[in-house]
Amino acid sequence: MEWRPWLTRWSDEWVRSADTEPDPEVARTRWLGFDPATEDAVAAAEERIGMRLPPSYREFLLTTDGWRDAGIFVWRMRDTSDIGWLRDIEPFWADSWAELCDEDRQEGTCLSRGLLISRDADAGILFLDPGDAGEDGEWAAYSLFSWRAAPPERFPSFFALMEDLYAQFHRMRKPEGEVRDAWDATVEQARLDALAGRIDGVEETLAKAEEFGSDRATALRAQLQLFLDRPAGQSLGRMVSPHFTLDGFVTDPLFTEEFLPLLFAQHAENTSPNTNSVLQSAMIADRPEFHLLIGEYQARLRRGEPHMTYGNPEFDALVRAAVDEHGDDPDALWQDVEAAFAHWRPRSADHIAPVALLADPAIAAALTPERRRALISRPRGDHQ
């Protein structure tokens, strides 16, 4: 791993996107790190803990002996002078959270074996586990935060952990620059691939873009998930949260004519009294623009007015005729919808799948997972 160029870019993005005045030293040097550790300092740390450090962490220390602001919730990482065993430095974590580690207690847990590498964090820790080493000599790395109320999150190496923290920084701060530009280009290519029916790997690519804060990737990914038989609740929930800031999304037909009818249909089908539907979550969230749209949609329902269309006019007319004629015959309905799909066109730039079809219980029942995938695998729109 060439640590220095990557960490230099991270530092520059951090300084440029800071909400408050950075540490004077960081502002002056544009560097979140410190001087490199010497080989003697690393060797002394290894002698103190009784083990040679894993390769990626060792090279990191030889690049910078410590680090500021790893992600958003870790404010300072340890250096060669104070890394040590978690059970000795902060035994609370090893004792109180051990039950979350699904491991053989006779050999200890990731926590009881953990090497603590974080110093200051928001009710959390970062640590490495020498008892979980790969053939490349890397130790598994973990992050654990009490407010997540979840088991420690595992990564295959220290470098993988740092990649996740870097993505978290991008997700929260959205710094401008070459990294964001590259992900924007990747998301656009994923959109084009999806419309061309080249769906293999597209959802995974969009998921990675989401990790780096692309709201557009969320809107695209949710459409694919609905047609690839994959859970879409998290993506749908993210779209109605206050943190979702895709420009123009609330008034885009993709939301008003496609996702909104689906959210109402899912809310009507929600049979769990202890779990909010995505629609209920939208009403709870501090999003007045969503509240207004939902209220207007509810008013149309109460008045018995037409409240949804299946897509562009030509496609909508064909689907309506199919529902009228074969609404109680799933196989015949599917045949008509499949034939009509040649006339489907996106309502707006980020529309890649006929989500509105799933808001109709009869059509949703006719669209088995295999049939949904068949539709989404076909070139559509201008790609036919």
Residue 59 φ/ψ, nearest 5 degrees: -65, -30
Q: Is the same domain home to 38 and 168?
A: yes
Q: Is 100 exposed, middle or buried (0-12, 13-18, 19+ CB in 10 A)?
A: middle
Between helices 215-227 and 369-376, what is the axis angle to 10°? 130
Q: Give the pLDDT band of residue 238 (cuts 50, 70, 90).
A: very high
Q: Is the same domain home to 117 and 134?
A: yes
pLDDT at 206: 97
Q: Is the same domain home to 153 and 203?
A: no
Query: If you average pLDDT over residues 199-219, what whole number do you get?
Result: 96
Q: Is the same domain home to 229 and 371?
A: yes
Tell me the C-alpha distance between 173 and 40, whole Å: 37
| pLDDT exceeds cutoff 90 at 208 | yes
Q: Give the pLDDT band of residue 47 (cuts 50, 70, 90).
A: very high
Q: Is the same domain home to 195 and 261?
A: yes
Q: The domain containing residue 52 runs over which residues?
A: 3-173
Q: Is 258 exposed, middle or buried (0-12, 13-18, 19+ CB in 10 A)?
A: buried
Q: Is the same domain home to 141 and 215?
A: no
| pLDDT exceeds cutoff 80 at 96 | no
Q: Is the same domain home to 278 and 264?
A: yes
pLDDT digits (tens, 9 = 90+) for 334-361: 999 999 999 999 999 999 999 999 999 9
Q: Number of structural domains, the chain? A: 2
Q: Is the same domain home to 187 and 329?
A: yes
Last residue of a domain, one of 111, 138, 173: 173
| pLDDT exceeds cutoff 60 at 195 | yes
Q: Is the same domain home to 164 and 184?
A: no
* Sheet of 115-116, strand order: 84-85, 115-116, 124-133, 139-145, 153-155
| pLDDT exceeds cutoff 80 at 271 | no
Q: Is the same domain home to 139 and 237?
A: no
pLDDT digits (tens, 9 = 90+) for 22-42: 888 999 999 999 999 999 999
pLDDT at 103: 56
pLDDT at 19: 83
Lowest mean pLDDT among 74-78, 106-110, 132-136, 174-178: 106-110
CATH number, position 142:
3.40.1580.10
Amino acid symbol at 276 = N
| pLDDT exceeds cutoff 70 at 384 | no
The listed range with the strongest mean pLDDT (95-99, 307-311, 319-323, 378-382) is 319-323
Query: If you average pLDDT over residues 371-382, what whole number do you get?
Result: 92
Tell me the C-alpha distance between 245 and 164, whole Å: 22
| pLDDT exceeds cutoff 50 at 92 | yes
Last residue of a domain, one of 173, 205, 232: 173
Last residue of a domain, one of 173, 201, 230: 173
The terminus-to-terminus CA distance of the chain in angstroms comes to: 44
276 compared with 45, residue with greater pLDDT: 45
| pLDDT exceeds cutoff 50 at 106 | no
205 compared with 111, residue with greater pLDDT: 205
Q: Is the same domain home to 149 and 198?
A: no
Extract the tokens encoding 45. 């740390």
pLDDT digits (tens, 9 = 90+) for 126-150: 999 999 999 999 999 999 999 988 8
Q: Is the same domain home to 275 and 343?
A: yes
Q: Give the pLDDT band of residue 102 (cuts 50, 70, 90).
A: low
Query: If you average pLDDT over residues 80-107, what whole number do you get?
Result: 79
pLDDT at 105: 46
Mean pLDDT of the chain: 93
| pLDDT exceeds cutoff 50 at 53 | yes
